[in-house]
Amino acid sequence: MTLPTRLPTRTLGRTGIAVSEIGFGAAPLGDLYGRLDEATAVGAAVAALSAGVTLLDTSPLYGHGLAEARCGAALRQAGRDGVVLCSKVGRWMDPTQGRGDGSGYAGGFPHRAVIDYSYDGTLRSVEQSLLRLGTDRIDVLLIHDVDVWTHGADRIEARFAEAMEGAYRALDRLRADGTVKAIGVGVNEAEMCVRFAQAGDFDAMLLAGRYSLLEQPALDEFLPLAQVKGIGVMLGGVFNSGILASGAVPGAKYNYGPAPAHILERVGRIETVCRAHGVPLATAALRFALGHPAVSSVVLGAVSADEVRRNLDAMAAAVPAALWADLKGAGLLAAGVPVPQ
């Protein structure tokens, strides 16, 4: 594959910030599934940036700071200019307490993640991120993981109140003084995107796993609201933890766990339609996610330059309109769901 020097871009909502339609997600660089070779991990991010990817998304959570450190190394190699750097708040790292359970990461730094959505905790998190990234600016800052998935139904109201009273005020101040260009949230539930959009003045939101070829719970309320408010939407988890990349194979993952039978059956039907048109399932999943006009970018993780190249190949592949029509005809997509043109 010949790597492009410029990828298609879209504007991130009302911000005026142009981002590549495919972004690089750094969660795997935090040793999410296994301990990575340092040069290979940094090389994945360098390959993406060198190929024209302009959106680099990371977080203190990812490897308890390791992913940010590796992103910083990549920026020093590939260059900081022209990159829209996105990170998150809601946790700061305590280097004196050990990593604890590592937040589910196989590796990472030996630092404890402290959940803290307070005003002071947010500023502390930002300062640590700047130091790990080795930069003097972050373009987009998101309040991370204020959702039921992370905190449970019994604690979500307290966490939401803490985030709006603390983290939101801190980020709003940073935006007002020009320290950051855009603020938002990064969560796993469309319902929480709606709550935040109605409660504050947010520029961008990163939603993981809730708008994909498999399921579209964000379609009815959140995405229309984002369009009305000019909120730029970034999508993560468009493969639903892997099943839309691997297909309905034994051991396929869905929502971070083994895929249940009804999900395997539905994905198998989607895959049959894709195969009839000669389109890989992962390619269709990626291209579908960009079909909604509210979506600015799809954030994809990779752990090697080869994975980056495969993602870029999928972006460039042709997908016939008949594929989407057949998915709708089979009842696998609702008639009104937007599809790529």
Residues forming the active site: 57, 62, 88
Rounded distance between C-alpha atoms, residue 202 and residue 180, angstroms: 13
Q: How far apart are CA 199 and CA 101, in angstroms?
A: 33
For residue 296, how far is the Cα from the chain centroid? 12
Angle at 323 between CA 264 and CA 254, to 5 degrees: 25
Tokens of 214: 């498999």
Sign of the CA dihedral 190, 194, 199, 205?
Answer: positive
Please give the C-alpha separations between residue 6 and each of 3, 45, 53, 309, in angstroms, as whole numbers.
Answer: 9, 16, 8, 14
Q: Are 286 and 11 in contact (CB under 8 A)?
A: no
Sign of CA dihedral 306, 307, 312, 318: positive
Asked if 93 and 126 touch (Cβ cutoff 8 Å), the reply is no
| Residue of 199, 238, 231, 248 lying closest to 216 (CA atoms) | 238
260: CB partners within 8 A, 6+ apart: 254
